[in-house]
Amino acid sequence: FELESLLRKAMDRNEFSLYYQPQIDTNSNKIYGAEALLRWHSRELGLISPNEFIPVAEETGLIVPIGEWVMKEACRQNKEWHDRHFPKFPVSINLSIRQLYQTDLVERLNKIIQESGLDPKYLELEITESMTMDTETTSLILCQLKKSGVKISMDDFGTGYSSLNNLKKFPIDYLKIDQSFIKDIAVNDDDRDIVATIIMLAHNLKIKTIAEGVETSEHVQFLKSQDCNVLQGYHFSKPLPAKDFEKWLINWN
């Protein structure tokens, strides 16, 4: 229906863009990376959140061409920043379940990386726990992706299921602690304990930790005290269009 038919036209009409949210290295306070977040500025509907259109894109299969555009655009943009001598950092993109289990994902990704000229270590793929149905199959896909040279993050950690088995079996570089656990760490002992335990667990498994939804200096202080590696959230910046992100980057230390 309407959303679907407009979504079908959105690609040709150039209505998609990527916004970038900085991720900060807790120790150096320098930029560590950026997460690319998809935005749809519809001529008819205005700005639509991915929460609204990604499910429709998944149901209709449109997520495949849209997701491919996201990969291409993130690689192109990061390569452009390298060529313009910005500090080098990985850009992460969010994969949806349908993309992860697409049979030619690895070939498509390799082709996109090659054509962009980006060193694949500067691309990171975020998957969510709820995506992973079968541990063995998912492990195999993730291993193939890792062979392409990209990094893998487990997004929204703690909100899914069978987390521990997945953490053990998947070749994950980063674990992103969901913002729902960060929100109340200043006032809620249980949340503090949960976050501290997730960080310890990840580090014991040689996985780096990224906290999401970091909004206050109290959040920063606690996460620092727990040796969380990377911080992301409105405290540093909301997701920004590429040009505004560049300005942010130039002003940041």
**178 interacts with Mn ion by CB under 5 A:** no
Rounded to whole angstroms, the Cα distance separating 124 from 113 reads 12
φ/ψ region of 117 (left if φ > 0, alpha if ψ in -120 to 50, else beta) reads left
DSSP code per residue over 56-98: HHHHHSTHHHHHHHHHHHHHHHHHHHHHTTPPP--EEEEPPHH
Cβ at position 212, least distance to Na ion in Å: 5
Q: What 3-state DSSP class applies to 100?
A: helix
* Contact assessment for residue 106 and residue 125, using Cβ atoms and an 8 Å cutoff: no
Q: With CB under 6 A as the rule, give the number of residues binding ligand G.
A: 21
Looking at the Cβ atoms of 51 and 103, the one nearer to ligand G is 51
Question: Under rule CB under 5 A, how many of the chain's residues touch Mn ion?
Answer: 3
Of the listed pieces 5-13, 80-88, 184-192, 211-219, which binds ligand G according to CB under 6 A?
Answer: 211-219
Q: What angle do CA 61, 67, 72 make, to 5 degrees?
A: 145
Cα–Cα–Cα angle for 101, 103, 107, rounded to 5 degrees? 115
When the beta carbons of 15 and 126 are compared against Mn ion, the nearer one is 126
Cβ at position 155, least distance to Na ion in Å: 5
Q: Pick from 169, 174, 176, 124: which is nearest to 149 by CA?
A: 124
Per-residue mark of binding to ligand G, 47-86 (x: CB under 6 A): --xxx--x---------------x----------------
Cβ 12 to Mn ion shortest distance, Å: 27
Nearest position to Na ion, beta carbon: 156
Task: Work out how close the CB of 93 gets to Mn ion at its nearest, in angstroms, rounded to a whole number.
Answer: 9
Residue 155 within binding range of Mn ion, rule CB under 5 A: yes
Q: Is 126 in the site for Mn ion (CB under 5 A)?
A: yes
Q: Give whole-number Cα distances, 239 to 184, 223, 236, in Å.
A: 22, 21, 10
- Piece of the chain touching ligand G by CB under 6 A; list 45-53, 162-170, 221-229, 244-252: 45-53
Tell me: does residue 124 bind Mn ion (CB under 5 A).
no
Site mask, Mn ion, residues 82-101, x = CB under 5 A? ------------x-------
**Identity of the residue, 8 or 238, whose beta carbon is nearer to Mn ion in the bound complex:** 238
Four-residue CA torsion sign, 153, 157, 159, 162: positive
The answer to whether residue 38 forms part of the interface with ligand G (CB under 6 A) is yes
Residue 223 in contact with residue 216, Cβ under 8 Å? no
* Residue 14 interacts with ligand G (CB under 6 A): yes or no: no
Q: Which residues bind Mn ion (CB under 5 A)?
A: 94, 126, 155
Q: Which residues bind Na ion (CB under 5 A)?
A: 155-156, 212
